Structure 1
Amino acid sequence: MSWTSIAAIYLLFWVITAFVVMPFGVRTAEELGIEKVRGQADSAPANFKPLRVVLITTALSAVVFGLFYANYVNGWIGPSDVNIFGKPPGAE
């Protein structure tokens, strides 16, 4: 696998992981007892910490990508292992 493929796949894992990590630990102004800014949505986060999200996302996506790459090198799970529809009609 070339380094550009590695970078592209890692970036995909990073973005997906970021969307999974973002909602954890975020509270609204009402939940924290803080007064809202005029025009602020009720659901707007009051304690969003982007650096925390970036650090957790980077670590978690590195682990997930490591497992993906290990599977790519060792071939533990292949396309035939995830065939959820069974054999196609007429196949022997």
Structure 2
Amino acid sequence: MTQIFMFLVIWWLTLFVVLPWGVRRTENADAGHDPGAPANPMLLKKALATTAIAAVIWGAAFIFFRVYGFSLLELIEKFGF
């Protein structure tokens, strides 16, 4: 359950990094539409990119904590956070 929660947190943080990629303003906005809204938000591509990037980050964290035996509590105690 912790791994799922960790992946979801990484996914949402990554989404906020990916969202601005390739954003272009609408040139001639219709009346009542925000002129700063993106012309083509490409949300499906961004969701797929977010999932791929989050999977790589989560995999690195999984290897770091599970395979090599590090624990978050040990790191906090060692560095005094």
Pair in the same fold by TM > 0.5:
yes
Residue 6 (str. 1) matches residue 3 (str. 2): yes
Find runs of 4+ consecutive structure 1 residues off by over 4 angstroms: none
5+ residue gaps, structure 1, are: 85-92
| Offset at residue 76 of structure 1 (A) | 8.7
- Post-superposition Cα deviations, 1:31-57, rounded to whole Å, max 9, x if no partner, equal xxxx21211222111110111011100
Question: For 2:30 and 2:10, how far apart are their aligned partners in 1?
Answer: 35
Normalised TM-score (structure 1): 0.72
5+ residue gaps, structure 2, are: none
- Greater helix share, structure number: 2
2:65 matched residue in structure 1: 72
Secondary structure in 1 matching 2:55: helix
| RMSD, matched Cα | 1.8
1:90 matched residue in structure 2: none
Identity across aligned pairs (percent)?
Answer: 32
Q: Show the 5 A alignment for 1:17-56.
A: 17-30=14-27, 35-56=28-49
Q: Flag the structure with larger Rg.
A: 1
